[in-house]
Structure 1
């Protein structure tokens, strides 16, 4: 991917952090777990990308098995916050970590258009 597109992807991640209180880390990766870029400071982004790919794959398989259609996102809530993995087209993903105060509705409001833009940037 061209450097300009990587910078634009990173800008999307940083904008999401600014728009949604509680977002602590984020990354974009391929569905096979390879890191594209990240806005993460207190997690290992390569591990985050790999684990998000596993979560996305499991969600896709489960959705297909029960006939609920194309997967949009996988949400995991932990004692310390949230992990949200969004499908970005068929070949990429966005993973967002948020603290316990994360406004999940606001995250969805801002992340869904970001997923569309990320899909366009990654396809270019």
Structure 2
């Protein structure tokens, strides 16, 4: 097996930066051209995990539309939904829940994160959206 070239590594790093920065159109263009949507960095983070952690709901939505694994955990067991809750990003949290993200999956889970930090508003979002009431 050959190692990736420096140019390939540089491109991958750029794509992960696009996810972190919420540069939805640029990232979408590369995904539409064939970049793997479920690519992971050295820490096991996917584009979705990074977009959710960096409060980029439009990027989160775009990635979901392109079929990213919404339940992929990084090397620390964190999932995108937990990252969105941790950053108190209600919009990304709702987008992920509507797409079917499990509020009890991962370590820590999104629900557990809301409880530990005492964020009742997020506990309510997790309860209402996962129960099918998307109007919260």
Normalising by structure 1, report the TM-score.
Answer: 0.26
Higher helix proportion (structure 1 or 2): 2
Higher strand proportion (structure 1 or 2): 1
Structure 1 or 2, whichever has the larger Rg, is 2
Normalising by structure 2, report the TM-score.
Answer: 0.25
Which structure's relative contact order is higher, taking Cα pairs within 8 Å and 6+ residues apart? 1
